[in-house]
Amino acid sequence: MSIDLFLFSLLGFTLIMHLIFVNVIIGVTVLTVAIRYTAYLRNDPYLELLARRAFRVMVIFDLFGGVWGTILTVYMAGFFPSMVAIFTRVYFYPVAIALTGILVSIPLIVMYWHLWGRISPRSHSLLGIPMAISVLLVPLGFRYLFAGLNYPIGIDGDQPSYIAALANPVYPALALHTILGGLDIGAFVLAAILATRSNMDVRGVRIALSTGMALLIPQSIAGAYYYVVLAEYDPYIVNNIAGPLLGGKPSLGFVYPLFYTAIVLVVALTIVGAIALYNAMMGFVNRPLAITAGILSELILVLMEFVNDGSRYPYLFLSGNAGIPVNELLNEAIPLPLVAIYTMIASTLIFTAIFSIVLYYGLFRRYLPETEE
């Protein structure tokens, strides 16, 4: 494997690991705030308990998402400093918005948890609104960077055009697809986690599954819209995604089979989710189906993100059918001997295993106890 392909793959792996957690954070945060506010309006103690359970899930995913975000940032800065320089110069304001969202969301998350039951239900419910907004600012800001990779406008010249960069035509479709996808994945994962409880939470699983199923259609429409936008501005990506079946002329033969696999899994998720929701509406939880729906939603995310990012290789920044190759953006000041590559692979796999074990323990052995206040 060449150095550029290895570092491209390593960067992609850490990005996907980060997004596995980020999408749950997006979805469960919004769902928590909505359930908590509904609990206040209806004076419903059960909905308030469900909101607390959902918020606990969000907090632990936020911890792991932050760790993977740090790893991703280190890899980007260390191996692709030219790309980071372009991002911070041309997309300074979106990056600043995303970082502001991170800095604001952390204290608001702490306040939201510790003020639960200590201030009025109305005040606590309203506190969730700025918390949810600050959480959403993070992906909305950072997605500008991915839009810039797909359609790098505003970069040419000594002085970057911030207005042109902010008017990137790829961004609206990508942002919409991201937010709806996060809401959908968060709902299905929450349903899966609630379904693991020995004291089965039928109503909670029903609420989470119904939310996930309701978002499948708009999310699919947003995905199709994003595909159409890519077809106009990124023919290189679309050719690799579409493959011969959809009339594409792919230069990468491994991308489009994964895309078709993801589409099949979307159909499977629709069927599994519908049956699981029907069972929940009948008064019982089909645990295997509910858990499968959560796993499928994350697996679809992994495949689609791999397709979206891997389809640009060997380029990072694309312009039509060509672009800036990966090897032109590598940090040539740091030579990578073979032992360093093996060390990075081993350490990444080891930490992935450790994080997975701790996540399992946190979610299913400690963080969601069967008896709660």
pLDDT of residue 1: 62
> How far apart, in whole angstroms, are the C-alpha atoms of residue 4 and residue 98?
28
Mean pLDDT, rounded, for 29-34: 97
Kindly report, residue by residue over 175-193, the tens digit of the pLDDT.
999 999 999 999 999 999 9
CA dist 356 and 64 (Å) reads 10
Say if residue 83's pLDDT is above 80. Answer: yes
Query: Residue 153 above 60 pLDDT?
Result: yes
Segment 131-158 shows an average pLDDT of 88
| Burial readout 182-193 (b: 16 or more C-beta within 10 A, e: otherwise) | bbbbbbbbbbbb
Domain segments of the chain: what residues? Answer: 3-366
Provide the mean pLDDT of the chain.
89
Q: Residue 158 — pLDDT band, cuts 50, 70, 90?
A: low
Amino acid letter for position 227: Y
User: What distance in Å separates the CA atoms of residue 24 and residue 46, rounded to the nearest whole number?
Assistant: 22
Out of 259-263, 279-283, 351-355, pick the least confident: 351-355
- Give pLDDT tens digits for 193-204: 999 887 778 999
Q: Report the alpha-carbon distance of residue 150 to residue 101 in Å, rounded.
A: 24
Whether the Cβ atoms of residue 348 and residue 7 lie closer than 8 Å to each other: no
What pLDDT shows up at residue 104? Answer: 96
- Return the CA Rg of the chain: 21
Q: Strand 315-319 vs strand 322-325: parallel, antiparallel, or unpaired?
A: antiparallel
Confidence of residue 71 (pLDDT cuts 50, 70, 90): confident
- pLDDT tier, 373 (very low <50, low <70, confident <90, very high otherwise): very low
pLDDT, tens digit, 9 for 90 and up, residues 276-309 = 999 999 999 999 999 999 999 999 999 999 999 9
Q: What is the pLDDT of residues 222-251, one digit of tens each?
A: 999 999 999 999 999 999 999 888 887 888
